[in-house]
Amino acid sequence: MSGFEPTREAAHARLAALQPEAYARSRNHLEGAVTHLSPYLTHGLLGLAEVLQALRERHGLDESHKLVQELGWRAYFHHVWRHRGEAIFASLHAGPLPDDAYAPTLPEDIRRGATGVPAIDRAVRTLYATGYLHNHARLWLASYVVHLRKVHWRAGADWLYGHLLDGDLASNHLSWQWVAGTGSHKPYLFNADNVARFAPREWHSAGSAIDLSYEALDALARRPREVGGGRGEPVDEPALHRAPPPGLATEAGPLPPAAALVHPWSLAGAPPGGPAAGVFFADFHARWPWSERRWRFAADRLQQIAGVPHWCEGPVPAGATAWADPHAAPWLAGARAMPVAAAFDEPARACASFTQYWRGTRMARAGSGARA
């Protein structure tokens, strides 16, 4: 897999290269034909509605296809975020153990890829080297952290989000809850046989802490004692930054009063309106630090669109315009937030599960003026 270039051209090249039938057959394999669209979707270089429209037109896909359903999970997680708000950052309901049975911080051996479980240590090294992980590897990593090492899912979710190039708060944190059993009906578990089926040989983990039956793993998930780790060779964890890393230029001056704002989740381009201005929101990054790789991905694209981005430490001007996105919503309260084309028709009520959501929705038709 090559790197992710922060351009519309690179995003559309990924979209054009999609092989839906190969995806459906091989998506669970770490070397399968997955889309690699997630950084472009998270940062708005592609809209979910735009991708679905392309799949409909080029491949004739509808809601029955596995690729459409998997993209539907992203829409579902945002549906939950819209209805639950800040509640998604706490356990939605009880898991296998009480919240206080889990450690509040991630052990050093996990952070440094030195657990002694090859599948976990490979996942950590891949994350640090690329800013990306196959979804199956994310599930394995989360399951090990929560159910075998007894670390609270929120500590793991915050750590993973910080290092991901495609980190989306709803998709990331609600996926961790799904694994933890606080957003689903049972814990997600995996073992060495599962890794051997879906991962390359260097990931195989026979003889490690995960080389157990599912019955044994389920019993472990429901008792408070952890399995222990620290049997591998450590690597350095890259720094996470709450402000632009050294060498990344930003402006500190006031934004133009009628600016067309471009934020890190709307990198397709500026909305119609006044002069384009790129922005990073200081309060957001004070809470959610990013890797240097992600800072530069967003900053490079912001500069392509609007020049040197602004470091915004307060509310944006009331006359400004920006594309709507839940990550940026608190800082756009005084501005005009323009809607983004819907990917799926929203169910009338909040849905408690993806199955309920999927039964109540369908792919939206082409948008009416909103950005795709």
- As annotated, the binding site for FAD includes 23, 70-77, 166-168
What SS3 class is residue 137?
Answer: helix
Helix/strand number for the chain, H first, E second? 15, 7
Is-contact 329 284, C-beta < 8 A?
no
**Annotated binding site: which residue ranges?**
23, 70-77, 166-168
- Is the CB of residue 248 less than 8 Å from the CB of residue 313? no
Residue 305 zone, left/alpha/beta (φ > 0; ψ -120 to 50; rest): alpha
- Token pair 């109540």 is found at 360
b/e sequence 337-368, b meaning 16+ C-beta within 10 Å: bbebbbbbebeeeebeebeebbeebebbeebe
- Please, which residues have CB within 8 angstroms of residue 272's CB and are 6 or more apart in sequence? 260, 321
Structure tokens, 168: 């989306």
Torsion of the alpha carbons at 271, 277, 282 and 283, rounded to the nearest 10? -30
Distance CA 245, CA 315 (A): 23
As given in the structure block, the two tokens for residue 310 are 């602004």
Tokens of 228: 């222990």
Contact at 8 Å (CB) between 340 and 370? yes
* Cβ atoms of 159 and 124 closer than 8 Å: no
* 33 vs 69: CA distance, rounded Å: 16
